[in-house]
């Protein structure tokens, strides 16, 4: 994801310094005009640092580690965290950056790698109003639309997590419905055509409906362990706010079972086949 996003920043004329554990991945960006940072600290002297990383552990390492972002960022400059991380970590980052005299903006994104490359991401931004304003042109360079969710950064992360929960819910619902009509001999493609040209005319139902109908779970667009991670994070946030989410629990169970049965490398929409499997099909 990060490569496409940085390319869009360069294309809009921003001054970009890139850091990655594997320098090879930055090669293309350097050819497009980016500077190379040998260490994290070398990527921190500008007006803002953007991080796009896999999970909480990666963000913690890069931010709180020795020579990390927290130590290296200048006063009043901004850390824009684009990763899908936990509400708890986002809250911790807000406190830590504020204590260090720095700004922190959470800006998780919706969109697959192709959307990132095409500057078509949807970006959910939250944090202190001035800071969000200040990095507004950066976000606009990468996304087709920015949605602001107030001055508590963690709220952006919570909203992002519920988005993934809603996608998972649609997958589960499709999986149950398709298992049922399939047993009655209905053609899945025709069934999806009905759904997605009427009440369910939305990207999610189209994309995932066809993955389930075709059982096309490899290569994974979003692998099962990543899906499990996000559902866990949504449930953790819900737990700490005392919000029961029975459908969230069901998704977690489906993903746990999928992985336990060897589906670690599959797209998370493979949970949509469980219903069929439970009926003795497939």
Active-site pick, 25, 120, 160, 216: 160
Stretch 89-128 residues interacting with a second copy (CB under 8 A): 110, 122, 124
Quick one: 15 or 239, whose CB is closer to a second copy? 239
Q: Which of 107, 252, 270, 273 binds a second copy (CB under 8 A)?
A: 252
d(C-alpha 242, C-alpha 235), whole Å: 10
Quick one: 23 or 244, whose CB is closer to a second copy? 244
d(C-alpha 21, C-alpha 6), whole Å: 16
Least distance (Å) between residue 114 CB and a second copy? 15
> Per residue in 22-55, is it b (16+ CB within 10 Å) or e — as a string?
eeeebeebeeeebeebeebbebbebebbbbbbeb
Stretch 159-178 residues interacting with a second copy (CB under 8 A): 159, 162-163, 165-167, 169-170, 172-174, 176-177
Least distance (Å) between residue 67 CB and a second copy? 27
Least distance (Å) between residue 26 CB and a second copy? 30
Q: How many separate helices (H) and strands (E) can be counted in the chain?
A: 14, 8
Q: Are 144 and 119 in contact (CB under 8 A)?
A: yes
- Sorted by sequence, the CB contacts under 8 Å of residue 173 that are 6+ apart come out as none
Q: Which of 186, 189, 214, 218 binds a second copy (CB under 8 A)?
A: 186
Active site residue 120: no
Residues with a known catalytic role:
160
């Amino acid at each position: 994801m990060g490569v496409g996003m940085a390319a869009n920043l360069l294309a809009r004329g921003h001054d970009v310094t890139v850091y990655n554990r594997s320098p090879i991945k930055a090669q293309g960006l350097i050819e497009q005009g980016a500077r190379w940072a040998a260490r994290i600290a070398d990527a921190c002297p500008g007006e803002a640092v953007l991080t796009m990383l896999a999970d909480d552990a990666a963000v913690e390492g890069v931010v709180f580690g020795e020579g990390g972002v927290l130590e290296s960022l200048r006063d009043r400059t901004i850390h824009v965290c684009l990763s899908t991380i936990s509400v708890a970590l986002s809250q911790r980052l807000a406190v830590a950056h504020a204590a260090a005299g720095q700004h922190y903006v959470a800006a998780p994104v919706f969109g697959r790698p192709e959307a990132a490359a095409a500057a078509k991401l949807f970006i959910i931004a939250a944090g202190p109003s001035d800071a969000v304003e200040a990095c507004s042109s950066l976000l606009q360079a990468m996304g087709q639309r920015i949605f602001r969710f107030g001055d508590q950064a963690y709220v952006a992360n919570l909203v992002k997590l519920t988005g993934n929960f809603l996608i998972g819910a649609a997958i589960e619902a499709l999986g149950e419905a398709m298992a049922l009509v399939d047993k009655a001999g209905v053609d899945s493609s025709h069934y999806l055509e009905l759904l997605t040209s009427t009440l369910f005319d939305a990207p999610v139902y189209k994309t995932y409906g066809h993955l389930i109908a075709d059982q096309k779970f490899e290569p994974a667009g979003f692998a099962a362990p990543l899906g499990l991670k996000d559902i866990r994070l949504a449930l953790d946030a819900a737990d700490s706010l005392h919000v029961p989410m029975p459908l969230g629990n069901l998704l977690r169970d489906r993903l746990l079972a999928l992985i336990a049965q060897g589906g670690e490398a599959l797209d998370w929409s493979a949970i949509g086949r469980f219903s069929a499997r439970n009926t003795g099909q497939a």
